Chain A
């Protein structure tokens, strides 16, 4: 096999657009008010498409997402195919279909990390945020069964006004369940979430309180917690929470997570609706170097011009800006909503924000 034309460490594969939950914070691209292509390919074509993308990128990690991946009947075949190619597989699932049989089929070693939502220790809140009664019981059982099978599990907490008050206890539940880490993500508007911003969006102050608790929990239990949705440094002084991991937009870099939908359309990430093209018709290099992708990578909000951290932070989530405000050059809607509170990073640090 020749060297990949354009190296990419990993990508996200949305195996299906179907889902058995109805989360008010869902960011899925096809849930935005755009004419997004719907459907999926048969198994053989899906595997061929994956092979093409893997050959052209040399990716060693694929995160299977959706929708709900386990709704796809050939999911195990996809996992086996990727394993046979030596690719590490992560599975992002709501856990509702991870019964004992499914767990047994996916172990041992077929999936490297399972990411499951744990939205609240309060059953009612978790079920409300999942849009599915009984979701809490199913996901907690799934996590426990995965841990019994000695699998690696990361719980995802999407921080909103609905569940923020229960964050601390929820984190402890995740720890008691044996989770290997928590992804602590602020609500990032997009998809269905665009219609629920007022109901869901927490303030920076409330989120800082959450981060303080996360820091304390991480210290007390020596437990890893990561904020994987951009937290703009002009609103959050990251150094205050030195136990937590913080990530920023990787669009266009080797560590970007280009997203492949079930029909082969490639997007900059799973939050964006921007289709760069179809991998079955064009090469990945063409898509990654297209004018649309270059524009996406170059995008910086006017608000952030001149900030010393502009090139690092990139103004937060460009995809959220794109889907909520029409362009990746707009400000991240979170930043936009709280712009009056933003301070240059150095001043932020001095004020102990």
Chain B
């Protein structure tokens, strides 16, 4: 009975929320944004509306508000399963809704910590039910398989969310851990390059590097870096530390200092061998972080150059063939990574956004893309900017210019009217009677229009006024 009352209440809230969403959309306001701002009662009402529309398939599920109420998930579960459904069945629906909410929150660059914690708590609550064998015993085989799948997915997602929670942002460059890493570089790299450092400086180097390695790990756990990128950063930090310690400290007189000298080619071979699996992983990854790779690729390229130097490689003796193999394996990976970095940098630019916006606009139906010409002009200008900035080369520039121009030309092919020899008008005439009259007066004064014709035109203008009435 209580569940039925709650269910009815949730349905009422959902329907009122739907009305609210429709009003917002009709007023061309951002319903999703409205679900995240303003008084709590307003946020929850709109969130309930969005969730109801999502349940009805009217909006994508992941459009549900990030900080909607817990009871919406439960209410939705109740609405979908009915009061007689078992706790496990309800937990399945509720966990799906909770995971969607978690996803939405995780996708926001500057998410609210409370919203993330709330979404995580919801997931955990349902996980507890679905991890209980007694409760899932009531499920069918398909239900149990679904529950297992959801539990595995939720567990992974929660781990990422846990790692992301202290970081507080989805933007790598805004993460405090990234600031730790860049601080380590700023402090340690000059000392590594010069080879001169005091004991106090070395102590600080140790602290920086330890903190930076920890930060890289945290960023990888949170998904802001890939594991391979974090590994490469860590390896590079080790190299920096070795370089700092290459010579004796400048403030300590020493007679003998064994810094473990190796021929440069041997060092390069060792470094590349260690980095090879990480570079492979980066080259195969879907996305890359240019800022992280910028810190590590220079050393890799320098090592490749060393192994390409015959004089240097001579010193390896029997190790020459291994060095050659390594160079052959690593060089193409570096090219692939650099291409990915270039593409990532390109895709982050506002200019590229305009090109993508034009491509998207072309997909829309004719009636829904009134400003295609404007977007085309912006996209074309954006490509010129990208060429000037060196983010694309001439060949790619020409290819993209032709692609977007083709899209404009093809628009004329797709129109309803035939092509050549037929009018391809972009809209109807909106000439006003006053404009026509003004032109007529001028042409008459210039003797271009005979009085008889002028009278006919005037009659049409007057008739037009009457027809309008």
Residue of A12, A178, A313 with highest tally of chain B CB at under 10 A: A178
Let me know if B443 and A121 touch, CB within 8 A. Answer: yes
Known contacts A228-B421, A270-B421, A312-B409; is-contact A345 B456 (Cβ 8 Å): no
Answer yes or no: B417 CB below 8 A from chain A CBs.
Answer: yes
**Contacting residues, chain A, for B442 (C-beta < 8 A):** 172
Chain B hits for A108, CB < 8 A: none
B154-180 contacts to A, CB under 8 A, are none
Q: CB distance B456 to A257 under 8 Å?
A: no
**A221 and B431 contact, CB distance less than 8 A:** yes
Report the stretch among B236-244, B256-264, B281-289, B376-384 that lies at the interface: B376-384
Decide if A80 is an interface residue (CB 8 Å cutoff): no
- Residues on B with beta carbons closer than 8 Å to the beta carbon of A242: 373-374, 376-377
Contact string, A325-353, partner B, CB cutoff 8 A, digits 1/0? Answer: 00000000000000000001111011000
Identify which of B448, B459, B461 gathers the most chain A CB atoms within 10 Å of its CB: B448
Residue A176 CB within 8 A of the other chain: yes
Determine the distance from Cα of A141 to Cα of B457 in the docked complex, in whole angstroms: 9
Task: Give the contact stretch, choosing among B111-119, B294-302, B422-430.
Answer: B422-430
Tell me how many residues of B have a C-beta within 8 Å of chain A.
53
The docked-state distance in angstroms from the alpha carbon of A313 to that of B430 is: 30
The verdict on A9 contacting B418 (CB below 8 Å), with A175-B439, A228-B423, A239-B373 known, is yes
Q: A172-B439, A172-B443, A180-B429 are in contact. Are A345 and B401 (CB under 8 A)?
A: yes
- Bitwise, A202-239 to B at CB < 8 A (1) or not (0) is 00000000000000000001111111111001000011
B417 (CB) vs chain A CBs: closest residue: A255
Type the 1/0 row for A86-114, where 1 means its CB is closer than 8 Å to any CB of B: 00000000000000000000000000010
- What is the CA–CA distance of A308 and B408 in the complex, to the nearest angstrom? 13
> Whole-angstrom distance from the CB of B37 to the nearest CB of chain A?
38
Residues of A with C-beta under 8 A to B146: none
Inter-chain contacts of B424 with A (CB < 8 A): 226-228, 245-247
- Would you call the interface of chain B mostly helix, strand, loop, or mixed? helix
A79 interface hit (Cβ, 8 Å): no
B435 proximity list for chain A (CB < 8 A)? 175, 221
| Cβ–Cβ contact A226 & B456, under 8 A | no
Q: Mark B378-420, 1 if CB is under 8 A from A, else 0.
A: 0010001000000000000111011101101110110001111
| Nearest CB of chain A from residue B409's CB, rounded to whole Å | 5
B398 touching A346, Cβ below 8 Å: yes
Q: Please state if B413 and A224 are interface contacts (CB–CB under 8 Å).
A: no
Interface flag for A309 (CB, 8 Å): yes
Q: Could you say which residues of chain A place their CB within 8 Å of the CB of B427? A: 222, 224
User: B449 near A: Cβ within 8 Å?
Assistant: yes
Q: Are B398 and A344 in contact (CB under 8 A)?
A: yes
Q: Is the CB of A309 within 8 A of B457?
A: no
Asked if residues A239 and B405 are in contact (CB atoms below 8 Å), the reply is yes
Which residues from chain A contact B463 at a C-beta distance below 8 Å?
A: 148
A129 at interface, CB cutoff 8 A? no
Query: Judging by beta carbons under 8 Å apart, are A230 and B420 in contact?
Result: yes
B453 touches A141 (CB 8 A): yes
Tell me the number of A-to-B contacts counted with CB atoms below 8 Å. 182
Count residues of A near B (Cβ-Cβ below 8 Å): 66
Contact A140–B453 (Cβ < 8 Å):
yes
Residues of the B chain whose Cβ atoms lie less than 8 Å from the Cβ of A245: 412, 423-426
B440 interfacial contact with A, CB 8 Å: yes
Kindly state whether residue B460 has any CB partner on chain A within 8 Å: yes
- B267 on interface, CB distance cutoff 8 Å: no
Complex Cα gap A238–B460 (Å): 35
What residues on B are CB-neighbors of A323 within 8 Å? none
Q: Please, how many angstroms separate the alpha-carbon atoms of A230 and B380 in the complex?
A: 22
Could you say which residues of chain A place their CB within 8 Å of the CB of B440? 176
Q: Say whether B348 faces chain A, with CB atoms less than 8 Å apart.
A: no
Q: Is A200 an interface residue (CB 8 A)?
A: no
A173→B441 CA distance, assembly (Å) = 11
Tell me whether B436 is interfacial, beta carbon within 8 Å: yes
A141, A230, A257: the one contacting B422 at CB < 8 Å is A257
Q: How far is the CA of A141 from the CA of B448 in the complex (A)?
A: 13
Known: A246-B424, A257-B418. A169 touches B453 (CB 8 A): no
Nearest chain-B residue to A250 (Cβ)? B419
Asked if A303 is at the interface of the complex by the 8 Å CB criterion, the answer is no
In residues 251-304 of chain A, which contact B (Cβ within 8 Å)? 253, 255-257, 269-271
Inter-chain contacts of A345 with B (CB < 8 A):
401-402, 405
Q: Taking the complex as formed, is A137 at the interface, i.e. its CB lies under 8 A from any CB of chain B?
A: yes
Q: Is there an interface contact between B456 and A229, defined as CB atoms closer than 8 Å? A: no
Contacts of A169 on B, CB cut-off 8 Å?
443, 448
Q: Which of B403, B420, B431 contacts A228 (CB 8 A)?
A: B420
Q: How far is the CB of A186 from chain B (nearest CB, A)?
A: 12
Q: Tell me, rounded to whole Å, the shortest Cβ–Cβ distance linking A45 to chain B.
A: 26
Q: How far is the CA of A147 from the CA of B458 in the complex (A)?
A: 11
Can you give 25 A-B contacts (C-beta < 8 A)?
Answer: A150-B467, A169-B448, A172-B442, A172-B443, A173-B439, A176-B439, A178-B457, A179-B429, A183-B423, A221-B429, A228-B421, A239-B377, A239-B405, A242-B374, A246-B412, A247-B422, A248-B419, A248-B420, A256-B418, A257-B421, A308-B406, A312-B406, A344-B398, A346-B402, A350-B401
Could you tell me which A residues sit within 8 Å of B by CB distance?
9-10, 12, 113, 121-122, 137, 140-141, 144-145, 147-148, 150, 154, 169, 172-173, 175-181, 183, 221-230, 233, 238-239, 242-250, 253, 255-257, 269-271, 308-309, 312-313, 317, 344-347, 349-350
**9 interchain residue pairs of minimum CB distance:** A245-B424, A308-B402, A346-B401, A242-B373, A224-B425, A250-B419, A222-B430, A144-B456, A176-B439
12 additional A-B pairs beyond A345-B401, A346-B397, beta carbons within 8 Å, are A175-B435, A175-B439, A176-B443, A180-B428, A221-B431, A226-B426, A228-B424, A239-B405, A246-B412, A255-B413, A256-B419, A269-B420
